[in-house]
DNA sequence: TGGTCGCTTCGGTCCGGGGCGAAGCGTCGC
DNA sequence: GCGACGCTTCGCCCCGGACCGAAGCGACCA
C-alpha cells in the first residue's frame, strides 16, 4: 500500500533527535516560534528552519506566520496521540531508569490540550467508574449523570461537543494506560486551569523540550477533584 | 528525560523503508524467517540481517533460532499497537489515495494477534454496545452477560485472562477507531479462525509485506457473528 | 530611514548508515 | 561426509541529510 513508504517517511520524520525534541516541546499544546524550537532542540537557526519545513511538509505541524515570527503547533490531536504513544513504547522498550523531570512530571502534565500523567489516568478512571461517560462508537459519550456532574464542575460541554471527537482515549506515556482526549479532555484541562485547580510550572532548565508541559495540582484543585470525583493522588 | 533520545531512536528504527516493511509484515503476528523478511523488504540477505539485528537490539522484535532458520516476531502487543497507530497517522496525514490491497484489507485483517478492519471495530462496538464488556482500570472487563455470551461462542476466556492485559483498545489503522486487543482480542481471533468463521487469504503478490494479514469472513462466520452479536458488514 | 531582529536560503563540509559482493559458519539432506 | 542452504560477518562504496557560517529578506523600532 502506500503505507510502507508513508509509514517509514512519517517515522523517519520523528526519528531525528532534533525534530523529536521539537515535537516533544510542541506537546505542551502551545504554538512556539522557530527560535524557541531551535533552542529546545539545541541546534542553530538554519538547521531548525530546515527541520520545521520538513515537519510542516509532512503534515505534522502547522505554521502560523505572525509578523516576523513564525509560530508552529502540532497539526492535531492524532499527531499528539501518536507522539505520546511512541514515547510510551520508548520507555517500555528501553531501560528508562530515572526521570530527570522528577515525579512531578509523572504526576500531572499536559498532553497537547488535555491532561496526562497519574492525574489524567485517574480522571479517566473516575469518569468511567462513576458512569459519567459510557462507551460510544469511536470513543465515549457523556451520560445523564456525567452531563450534570461535568457542568457542575464548570466544564463547557458545548465547546467540548464542537470538537471533531467528543471524547476518546489517548495512551498515557508514563502510566501506560489511557487518559481522556478529545473535546471533553480539552475542556476539562481548560476548566482546571481556569479555576486554578492546576497551574503551569516553569521549565526546569532553559530550553528544555519537556519543561513546558509541567503542571502542579493546587491544594484547592486536589480538594475539588476529590470531592467531585474521588480523585486522590498519592503525595 | 531519556525520552527525546530514546524516542528518536525508536522512531528512527521504524523510519527506514526496509525496516518498516519488515515490521508491517510481522504485524500478521506470525514469526518469519530472516529470508522471508528480506524478501518482504525487497533487500538482500546481508542488509536484512543488519536491520533485524538493530530491530532486535532495539527491543522491537524477538529472535527465535530454530535449526538453520532464525524466526523473528514482534516483541509484544504494545509494539504492534504503536505500529498500527503510526500507520493510521500516516494515512491520515498523507493523501492516501487508493488501497492497493483492495477493500478486503479494510474489511478484515489481522493486527498482530487480534482482528482489525471494519470487522474489528464492529466487534468492538458490538461488545461494548451489548454490555458484554465494561470499562475497567487499564482497559475492559467482561460482564456477566459477556462471559456467558463469549463462552457460548467458543471463546476461551481462561486463556484470555492469562494475558498481561485482558482487553484493551488498539487504534485501527484504516478505520481510525478502536478495535479490541489484549488476551480477549487474541482469543476471539483464534476462535474465529478455529471455527472457520474467518480464513486467511494468500498474499496478493509474492513478498508483499502486508499480504500475510489478509482475512476473509466465511458465509458461516457472517451468519454466526450476526446472530450472536448483530455484527453485519456491508458487502 | 537606518538599525536590529527573526527567519530563510545558499554554499560547503562531514558523517552515519544503507546497500552489495565475497567469504565464513553452522545446519540440514542425500 | 559432502554439497546445499540460511544466515552472518567483513570490506567497501556511496548517497542522503544534518549542521554551520554567511548572506539575503521582510518586519518591527526609534
CATH at residue B50: 1.10.10.10
Q: Which residues of B32-67 are buried (b: 16+ CB within 10 A; e: fewer)?
A: bbbebbbbbbebeeeebbebbebbeebbbbeeeeee
Same domain (yes/no): A190, A163: yes
The model's pLDDT over B207-226, given as tens digits with 9 standing for 90+, comes to 787 888 999 999 999 999 99
Restricting to B residues 8-47, those with a Cβ less than 8 Å away from any Cβ of A are: 8-17, 19-21, 24
Give CA–CA dist B50/B102, Å, rounded: 33
B178 touches chain A (CB under 8 A): yes
Domains: count for chain A: 2
Q: Could you tell me if A68 and A113 lie in one domain? A: no
Last residue of a domain, one of A75, A94, A111: A75
CA–C1' A45–D23 (A): 14
Same domain, A70 and A146: no
Closest nucleotide C1' to the C-alpha of A68: D27
Decide if A211 is inside a domain. Answer: yes
A105, A220: one domain: yes
Q: Which of B75, B95, B110 is the last residue of a domain?
A: B75
What is the domain extent for residue A178? 78-229
Question: Among A53, A75, A97, which residue terminates a domain?
Answer: A75
Q: Is residue B225 located within the same domain as residue B123?
A: yes
Distance A13 CA to D29 C1' (A): 38
Q: Is residue A49 part of a domain?
A: yes
Closest in A83, A85, A100 to B1, CB measured: A100
Say how many CA atoms lie within 13 Å of B171 toward its Cβ.
25
Strands (E), chain B: 32-33, 61-66, 69-74, 109-111, 114-116, 133-136, 139-142, 168-171, 178-181, 198-200, 215-217
List the pLDDT tens digit at each of the 235 positions of chain A: 457 889 999 999 999 999 999 999 999 999 999 999 999 999 999 999 999 999 999 999 999 999 899 999 999 999 999 999 999 999 888 765 556 666 778 899 999 999 999 999 999 999 999 999 999 998 999 999 999 999 999 999 999 999 999 999 999 988 989 999 999 999 999 999 999 999 998 887 777 878 889 999 999 999 999 999 998 887 6
Inter-chain touch A87–B17, beta carbons under 8 Å: no
Q: How far is A152 from chain B (nearest CA, A)?
A: 24
Same domain, B10 and B84: no
Q: Which three cell numbers stand for residue B232?
A: 453485519
Q: Which residues 132-151 of A are in CB contact (within 8 Å) with B?
A: 135, 137-139
Q: In chain A, which residue's Cα lies nearest the Cα of B177? A: A138
Same domain? B103 vs B53 = no
* pLDDT reported for residue B104: 79
DSSP string, chain A: -HHHHHHHHHHHHHTSHHHHHHHHHHTTS--EEHHHHHHHHT--HHHHHHHHHHHHHTTSEEEEEETTEEEEEES-HHHHHHHHHHHHHHHHHS-----TTHHHHHHSEEETTEEESHHHHHHHHHHHHTTSEEEETTEEEE-HHHHHHHHHHT--HHHHHHSSSS-EEEE-TTTSSEEEEHHHHHHHHHHHHHTTSEEEPPPSSTT-TTGGGBEEE-HHHHHHHHHHH------
pLDDT at site A99: 64
| Distance (Å, whole) CA B121 – CA A208 | 39
Tell me, yes or no, whether A156 and A222 share the same domain: yes
pLDDT reported for residue A98: 58
As a whole number of Å, the end-to-end CA separation of chain B is 49
Contact B1 A88 (CB under 8 A): no
Asked if A102 has any chain B CB less than 8 Å from its own CB, the reply is no
pLDDT value of residue A2: 59
- Is any Cβ of chain A less than 8 angstroms from the Cβ of B6? yes
pLDDT value of position B163: 95
Cβ within 8 Å of residue A99, ≥6 positions away: A105, A106, A174, B1
Whole-complex ipTM = 0.89
The candidate with the shortest Cα–Cα distance to A135, out of B193, B146, B47, is B146
Residue ranges near strand C (C-beta within 7 Å): A 33-35, 38, 45-46, 48-50, 52-53, 68-70; B 16-18, 43-47, 50-51, 54, 67-68
Amino acid at each position: 500500500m502506500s503505507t510502507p513508504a508513508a509509514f517509514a517517511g512519517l517515522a523517519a520524520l520523528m526519528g531525528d533527535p532534533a525534530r523529536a525534541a521539537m515535537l516533544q516541546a510542541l506537546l505542551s499544546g502551545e504554538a512556539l516560534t522557530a527560535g524557541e524550537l531551535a533552542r529546545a532542540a539545541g541546534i542553530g537557526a538554519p538547521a531548525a528552519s530546515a527541520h520545521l519545513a520538513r515537519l510542516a511538509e509532512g503534515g505534522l505541524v502547522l505554521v502560523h506566520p505572525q509578523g516576523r515570527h513564525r509560530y508552529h503547533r502540532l497539526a492535531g490531536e492524532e499527531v499528539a496521540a501518536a507522539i505520546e504513544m511512541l514515547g510510551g513504547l520508548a520507555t517500555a522498550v528501553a531501560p528508562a531508569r530515572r526521570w530527570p523531570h522528577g515525579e512531578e512530571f509523572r504526576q500531572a502534565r499536559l498532553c497537547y490540550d488535555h491532561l496526562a500523567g497519574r492525574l489524567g489516568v485517574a480522571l479517566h478512571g473516575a469518569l468511567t467508574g462513576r458512569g459519567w461517560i459510557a462507551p460510544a462508537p469511536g470513543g465515549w459519550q457523556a451520560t445523564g449523570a456525567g452531563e450534570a456532574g461535568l457542568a457542575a464542575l464548570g466544564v463547557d460541554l458545548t465547546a467540548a461537543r464542537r470538537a471533531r471527537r467528543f471524547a476518546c482515549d489517548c495512551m498515557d506515556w508514563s502510566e501506560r494506560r489511557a487518559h481522556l482526549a478529545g473535546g471533553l479532555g480539552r475542556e476539562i484541562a481548560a476548566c482546571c486551569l481556569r479555576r486554578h485547580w492546576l497551574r503551569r510550572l516553569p521549565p526546569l532548565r532553559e530550553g528544555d523540550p519537556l519543561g513546558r508541559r509541567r503542571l502542579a495540582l493546587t491544594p484547592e484543585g486536589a480538594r475539588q477533584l476529590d470531592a467531585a470525583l474521588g480523585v486522590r493522588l498519592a503525595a
